[in-house]
Amino acid sequence: MREDEIIENKYNLPIKKQCFKDYIELLINKIFKLLPLYEGLSLTKEIIYTPEQAYKHFQMHLEEVIVEVTGNYYIFCNNPKIISILSILDGMRDIKLNEHQLVRTLVFKCTNICEELKEDLISEECDKK
């Protein structure tokens, strides 16, 4: 495996760029899931939870995503975009009930930063060719 195909990481694991891109897609999905959880929606987009129940599920999932992104920072510590995602998610802990627009805005901001991470990888690949 060529060195330019590998993502630099704390453990010097041979993590291919494509694997990292695929992982970022999974992370985007986890972050995006915060929105329907906050809204109390089922997979069929029906409201099935009270606002209080939905808020509790939102908070639990948010904590899981924060733990994961914190781990990403330690593994891929040279990337400031991960710090940006983590900062936004950590700030979302203070969101209250009835702040749907704020949740929506911040979820999309995080997913856009994730897309930038993927674009950075594509740009690096093009620069090395």
Q: What is the pTM of this model?
A: 0.89
Q: What whole-number distance in Å separates Cα of residue 17 and Cα of residue 19?
A: 5
pLDDT(129) > 50: no
Q: Considering its fold, how many domains does the chain have in total?
A: 1
pLDDT at position 6, please? 86
pLDDT of res. 54: 96
d(Cα 48, Cα 53) in Å, to the nearest integer? 9
**Residue 110 domain boundaries:** 3-128
Segment 45-67 shows an average pLDDT of: 96
Long-range contacts of 118-123 (CB under 8 A, 24+ apart): 118/21, 118/24, 118/25, 120/81, 121/7, 121/17, 121/20, 121/21
More confident residue, 120 or 22: 22
Q: Are 88 and 79 in contact (CB under 8 A)?
A: no
Contact 78/8 with Cβ under 8 angstroms? yes
Q: Is the pLDDT of residue 126 over 50?
A: no
The secondary element (H helix, E strand) that includes residue 82 is helix 80-91
Query: Residue 31 pLDDT > 60, yes or no?
Result: yes
When comparing pLDDT for 2 and 85, which is higher?
85
Confidence of residue 65 (pLDDT cuts 50, 70, 90): very high
